[in-house]
Amino acid sequence: MNRTLPWILLVLTTIVHAAQAAPAAPPTLLPTSTHAETAGVSAKVLSRFHYQAAPLDDAMSGQIFDRYLKALDPERVFFVQADIDRFAANRTALDDAILRQDLEVPYAIFRTYSERVRQRLSGARELLARGFDFDRTETYRYLRTDVPWPASEDAVREVWRKRVKNDWLRLKLAGKDDKAIRETLDKRYDNALTRVARYKSDDVFQMFMNAYATAIEPHTNYLGPRASEDFAIAMRLSLVGIGAVLQERDDYVTIRELVPGGPASRSGQLAIGDRIVGVAQGEQSVAADVLGWRVDDVVGLIRGAKGTTVVLDVLPADAGQDGEHKRITLVRDTINLENQAASKSVIEVAGATAPHRIGVIKLPTFYQDTGARRGSDGDFRSATRDVARLLAELKADKVDAVLVDLRNNGGGSLDEAIRLTGLFIDTGPVVQQRDAQGQIRVDRDVDPGLAWDGPLGVMINRASASASEIFAAAIQDYGRGVIIGEQSFGKGTVQTLVSLDQMVRSEKPKYGELKMTVAQFFRITGGTTQLRGVTPDIGLPAMGDAERFGESSYDNALPWTQIAPAQYKPAGNAPDLLPLLKTRHASRTARDTEYAYLQEDVAELKALRERSEISLNESERRKERARQEARLKARETARSGATVAVADAAAGRPAGTDVIAALRDDGLLAGERSLRAELDAEESSKDAKDVLLGEATRILADMVDILGADAPRAASLLPGTAMRMN
């Protein structure tokens, strides 16, 4: 990405810091002069150039105040009402603090937060020595985002008593004994203390500035220099480093994955589970001791310029804490993040008279290496270029239809959304934009020709947002294909990156960037996807939580609206097929046991989401657990039949034991299981049957059958299909 000019981007997620650890007694965090300057410059930009520009006044200060407290203590388990009352004196002073470039108030609030965390978690560790009465009838409210702040210290202690009791009970139900439970929870709370103690001044500033940015509109964010670079990496799908995925485990930064073909993998000297305890910049340099460091700080030392040398001091995975270290020298190289790039597969599906081959293209994000493109690199990396190549390969594989899977694709480059649409239509408008001045621009595909002119489907879910919605909406509006899945996110706004370093003429990356909403996009039919998202032509069971996730879950989202439609010609008549496709879909899924199980699971998940409390009585929890396991055992027995039942019996296990064990809550949090257990679970998840994808491919197989039996209809539905079907 060119860092000197803003670039229009559509994104759902923001850069989130990884879980980090720290010393027990945290330093006193204070704002720097750079933070103060950054806040002042940001205020000028946001109050003048934002799509929904809002003055930085007392009203805005109140919104910043509320969002900052929510960012610090979303579950309301650290602060008490007295803290909130004391902070309230500054509720309308945060605007003045930003404009005067004096950020002491938000840092003072954070210092109180840090102290409260130490108090609550220290108290939680003390509770472990006492144990709990699990015969008592009481409940724990685990969903606390909308409850009042605890009224007193006694009230917050009661919240934590129940919280710790629930943590203990989960482990007890998973079969842990008291000693193991105490050790697990004591370590958990100590790690939580450590993470808060390792906060830096930059972290507090980013949190506060995002409270300001999101108070204007949900998709406006501040990115500090490090977050800005991470965002650029995500967009270009490449970085310069050693090709190792790192994770913090206890006090060690541990190798979690080696990227095939990267320097770390090629060296043959590093293995999953190895721990990095030192990093040196060249063979003659002294290694920095990184034991106990945050993972992002270690990553910062390992990344560097291509062709330069980095030396790692490594404690092998199978060595004890006092084991022999290895010194490994690596030369940094460009690492392509292939696991985030477009990929393809071919699924064979039964048809009316013969099997059909359905090509599936999975696109995780709309990426583009804008820096390489602006630098006239003719081979720059982009989602559209990769998908075009995959489509050519699928043609060679003689697929009958193509399904573009955009599930969990949160967006990316607007340019890529337009260009990708152009692979499936000839030419024409793709999306409309309206800026803050009310001016409307129509963005068009201007490249004639299609990369794929056959049957097409697009799969979306609640996490499909922004650029995904532009593409899906255009395919739907042109009648070019069938949209399958669930209602999308509903993000209909356009963001640009504003370099604050450029604005203050800083030669070094010092001030960061604003990802700022500057426009709203509209479908070629005139309506926006804002709030409402894209409605699928054929709906599948919704796994997402629409009430808590999606544009409609934000309290300050822009409203739905519409403008005049653009002039365009339909590229097909896919809607004409929908009645027959829906009939076949309904008939098939009514007989599909796995689909019925999925619907059952969705209903169960919905019921669980509607709860906010859970029993702390052991007998009641065991009964509830037994009901769940009985349901799953019955399902597995029905799936497996006598063969697995006999095998289980021969091994002395109840039917479906392996499945039940995999689904059972073990009471542990991410990072508390062994690294091998986590990796095995991820691999198992990848191999799990994707019922929704299976049904989507069958819908496309239905489309192929229908079109193959009706040449005139095929000719009207698909560009060039009359020739393809002869």
User: Bigger pLDDT: 237 or 692?
Assistant: 692
* Residue 652, token pair as written in the block: 């002395």
Q: Are residues 474 and 558 in the same domain?
A: yes
CA distance 337 to 238: 6
Instruction: Report the candidate in 44, 20, 46 with the shortest Cα–Cα distance to residue 496.
Output: 46
Q: Are residues 318 and 373 in the same domain?
A: no
Instruction: Indicate if 508 belongs to the active site.
Output: no
Helix 104-127 to helix 201-216 angle (10° resolution) is 110
Let me know if residue 107 belongs to a domain: yes
pLDDT > 90 fraction of the chain, expressed in percent and rounded? 77
Q: Are residues 349 and 488 in the same domain?
A: yes
Q: Are residues 523 and 425 in the same domain?
A: yes
Let me know if residue 163 belongs to a domain: yes
User: Bigger pLDDT: 528 or 709?
Assistant: 528
CA distance 420 to 383: 8
CA distance 509 to 507: 7
Let me know if residue 649 belongs to a domain: no
Q: Which residue has the tokens 């007989």?
A: 591
Cβ count within 10 A of residue 280: 18
Let me know if residue 670 belongs to a domain: no
Query: Catalytic: which of 162, 176, 491, 515?
Result: 491
Sequence-distant (≥ 6) Cβ neighbours of residue 574 within 8 angstroms? 456, 479, 480, 481, 482, 537, 717
Q: Are residues 206 and 74 in the same domain?
A: yes
pLDDT > 70 fraction of the chain, expressed in percent and rounded? 90
In sign, the C-alpha dihedral spanning 411, 412, 413, 419 is: negative
Q: Which residue has the tokens 């009203």?
A: 59
**Per-residue pLDDT for 21 more than 50?**
no
DSSP state string for 52-97: T----SHHHHHHHHHHHHHHH-TTS-S--HHHHHHHGGGTTTHHHH
Please give the residue range of the domain that contains residue 355. 339-572
Q: Are residues 105 and 161 in the same domain?
A: yes
**Per-residue pLDDT for 4 more than 90?**
no
Element (H, E) at 114: helix 104-127
Query: Catalytic: which of 230, 445, 477, 501?
Result: 477
Q: Are residues 528 and 401 in the same domain?
A: yes
Tell me the sheet residues that pair with 461: none
- CATH (domain of 296): 2.30.42.10
154, 182, 216 - which closes a domain: 216
Q: Are residues 298 and 408 in the same domain?
A: no
- CATH (domain of 481): 3.90.226.10
Let me know if residue 8 belongs to a domain: no
Q: Name the CA dihedral angle for 607, 610, 615, 621, rounded to a multiple of 10 degrees.
A: 20
User: Bigger pLDDT: 41 or 373?
Assistant: 41
522, 556, 572 - which closes a domain: 572
Let me know if residue 409 belongs to a domain: yes
- Per-residue HEC secondary structure of 532-585 comes to CCCCCCEECCCCCCCCCCCHHHCCCCCCCCECCCCCCCCCCCHHHHHHHHHHHH
Let me know if residue 607 belongs to a domain: no
- Give, as one character, the DSSP assignment of residue 340: G
The average pLDDT across 198-212 equals 97
The one-letter amino acid at 401: A
Q: Which residue has the tokens 């793709």?
A: 430
The one-letter amino acid at 667: G
Cβ count within 10 A of residue 46: 28
Q: Are residues 385 and 243 in the same domain?
A: no
336, 360, 391 - which closes a domain: 336
User: Bigger pLDDT: 257 or 17?
Assistant: 257
Q: Are residues 102 and 201 in the same domain?
A: yes
User: Bigger pLDDT: 568 or 543?
Assistant: 568
Q: Are residues 299 and 345 in the same domain?
A: no
Q: Which residue has the tokens 């991820």?
A: 682
**Per-residue pLDDT for 653 more than 90?**
no
Instruction: Indicate if 690 belongs to the active site.
Output: no
Q: Are residues 426 and 514 in the same domain?
A: yes
Beta strand 326-331 pairing with 288-289? unpaired
Sequence-distant (≥ 6) Cβ neighbours of residue 103 within 8 angstroms? 31, 35, 36, 39, 97, 205, 208
In sign, the C-alpha dihedral spanning 695, 696, 698, 703 is: positive
Number of domains in the chain: 3
Let me know if residue 356 belongs to a domain: yes
**Per-residue pLDDT for 546 more than 90?**
no
Count Cα atoms within 13 angstroms, Cβ side, for 691.
Answer: 17
Tell me the sheet residues that pair with 288: 279
**Per-residue pLDDT for 22 more than 90?**
no
Check if the beta carbon of residue 347 is closer than 8 Å to that of residue 337.
Answer: no
CA distance 65 to 59: 10
The average pLDDT across 244-257 equals 94
Residues 398-410 pLDDT 10s: 999 999 999 999 9
Query: Catalytic: which of 61, 114, 464, 466?
Result: 466
Instruction: Indicate if 466 belongs to the active site.
Output: yes
Residues 524-544 pLDDT 10s: 999 999 999 999 999 999 987
